[in-house]
Chains A and B, each alone.
Chain A
Amino acid sequence: MKVAIKAQGLTKQYHDILAVDHIGLEVFEGEIFGLLGPNGAGKTTTIRMLTGQTKPTSGTATVASYEITHESIKAKQQMGVVPEVSNIYDEMSAWNNLIFAAQLYSVPKIEREKRAKELLELFGLYERRKDRVASFSRGMKRRLTIAAALIHKPKMLFLDEPTTGLDVQSSRMIRNLIKELNDSGATIFLTTHYIEEADQLCQRAAIINQGRIVVVDNPEKLKASMEERHIIEISFSPSRDLNDELKGLSCVNDVSRLGDKFRLYVDDASEVIPSLVDFARKNSLKIISINTLKPSLEDAFVKLTGLSPEVMTAEKEPIKKREE
């Protein structure tokens, strides 16, 4: 398979902070590749280096065989970039934003208007094409940003946290869109701190933590690496904090609480379930539900990085645009 994006020894140092530490990765043509990690792991810095917005301290990156530092114009002609903060002009209309984006990529005039119309219709924004973007919702702005990145029909698309801060419906729409774009042949590189998003979308994912790549593999193989662990999910009534007591049961390696449910990581579920029934009886608890689960990508992530899932779900401070 042909390599579309390649990074070798990519490093970025800001004074005494090593944001990205000698990372290497390859993304093949036609795949959706995810860079998964908590906030502050180095995802945005990595994508900024790959897209030519930030100069690496050392190392190289190539996009469509063009080296990003020395052949940046040619490399950028091959890619569309969707940053974390929608970089469209609030003071301009949706239509003018797309036309301007097309001008930056030297899309011919006749093609520009045709393409703008197509994209606005695809993203459900055509009716609002003459409205100032300042009046758009966050989800609409994100859709318009993606449309602007596609105006010149790039072979690859870079998306930095595409669904952060969006409601469930908008997130779902964006994810479906990403899948459709990939189905039509685009190579997608995305960063995310949502483990589920990486699991649903990516054919391969790299887990990054503290500026270093921990592992690169496809999500199913990462989950399969956890299969020696069994997981029992149980909920009791009345619901109360039982972490310490459950950890004290034999053959229970770890316990985490998710809402009203407890996840027990055990060596053998068949040995632990009778102990749980005894435990409930002795503590006057009623078992509301009990399930055995396959390891998730989240479980693999926790094992590989040592980070708790709560670290991943902690939202970054939203980047505020200037007040109007």
Chain B
Amino acid sequence: MRSKKDDCDEGMVMKDMHSSHLGREIRVAWAIAAKDMRTYYTQPPSIMFGILFPFALFLSFSVGRNVPLATQIPILVSQTLFFASSSIGPVVIPIERADQTFDRFLTSPVSLLTILMGKTLGGIIYGTGISIIPVLVGIAFFGTQIVNIGAIIACFALSTLAFSALGIMFASIPGQTVGQVMMPLNFVRIPLLFISGVFTPIAELPPWMQVVSMLSPLTHTVELARYSLGGGTFFGPLVNMAILTFYTAIFLFLGIRFHIMNQRKE
């Protein structure tokens, strides 16, 4: 007859198995992210869509306007968070499909969830790394000050996660070229710039556009970036964080579902 000690021991063994299993999955996800960083961060599509694109867009809409560059730092930070984080998945996954290296994951004792978490982590690290640069430039040369450290951490954490997951979701499109995935993604990303308070402050938009703006995840990145660097927000930081969290959950859920559906068709 089983004693309490037997149940307790079994519980500890099960806990050990679960925690060692979880630990193993985290280590593998990190290994996948590290491999992607080494292999794909400096690939031309990553640099083009993740770095050059947001900086070029920023400069094209800032140069010649009578607006102090220092006030534009939150915009640049938001744009780099948006483009850099969401570009890695759509670069890496089609390349791996074309090279047939994605199949290496499918033959390994690794769940699809772990693979996608590793890919998402790659986007998070890229987005964070690239977006820190305008913050540091702002602080060094334009007198930018971080007035709310919690808000900037939340902005970076939630935005990189949400937008990396967005990229992974689009990367489920079964294409073997970066263009086949990046084109539909840009079809979504570029219009979002115009409704998210990037070029026109939300307070100056008509009421119906303010509602539309609230639905864009980029809006809340822009607002949190502004708030953390001394500016105001239209919707409030708590609403910003809540909506970014909501979009993170949606993009992660849909991304995983779409990839599972793709696997079933293989």
A contact residues vs B (CB 8 Å cutoff): 48, 51-55, 72-74, 76-77, 79, 81, 83, 85, 87-92, 96, 100-101, 103-106, 148, 319, 321-322
Contacts and interface: CB of A to CB of B under 8 A. Distances in A.
Contact of B35 (A48, A55, A89, A105): A89
Q: Residue among B31, B95, B101 with the most chain A CB within 10 A?
A: B101
A215 to B, nearest CB: 28
A89 B101 contact: yes
Contacts of B95: 322
Given A89-B39, A100-B31, A105 B101 contact: no
Given A55-B264, A55-B266, A104-B110, A87 B31 contact: no
Contacts, number: 75
Contact of A105 (B40, B108, B266): B108
Nearest to B21: A73
B103 A76 contact: no
Given A87-B99, A90-B99, A322-B99, A104 B266 contact: no
14 contacts: A52-B107, A76-B107, A77-B109, A79-B107, A87-B103, A100-B31, A100-B35, A104-B105, A104-B108, A105-B109, A106-B24, A106-B109, A321-B98, A322-B99
B31 A83 contact: no
A54 to B, nearest CB: 5
Contacts of A73: 109-111
A52 B105 CA distance: 11
Nearest to A86: B100
Query: 8 nearest interchain CB pairs?
Result: A103-B31, A81-B107, A104-B108, A76-B109, A322-B98, A77-B109, A53-B106, A73-B109
B2 interface: no
Interface size class of B (residues with CB under 8 A): 20 to 34
B5 interface: no
B100 A104 contact: no
B18 interface: no
B28 A87 contact: no
Given A89-B35, A103-B31, A104-B110, A55 B263 contact: yes
Contacts of A77: 109
Contacts of B100: 83, 85, 87, 319, 321
Q: Is the interface of B mostly helix, strand, loop or mixed?
A: helix
Contacts of B99: 87, 89-90, 321-322
B104 A87 contact: yes
Given A52-B107, A87-B100, 15 more contacts: A53-B103, A53-B107, A55-B266, A72-B109, A83-B100, A83-B103, A88-B101, A89-B99, A89-B101, A104-B31, A104-B104, A106-B27, A106-B28, A106-B109, A322-B99
Contacts of B177: 322
A202 B262 CA distance: 35
Nearest to B105: A104
Interface string B81-125: 000000000000001001111011111111100000000000000
Contacts of A55: 263-264, 266
Contacts of B109: 72-74, 76-77, 104-106
A102 to B, nearest CB: 9
Nearest to B101: A87
B174 to A, nearest CB: 14
Contacts of A101: 104
A138 to B, nearest CB: 14
Interface in B112-158: none
A89 B165 CA distance: 24
B206 to A, nearest CB: 47
B65 interface: no
A72 B107 CA distance: 9
Nearest to B24: A106
A81 B105 CA distance: 11
B39 A92 contact: yes
Nearest to A91: B39
B38 interface: yes
Given A87-B104, A321-B98, A321-B100, A96 B111 contact: no
A79 B99 CA distance: 22
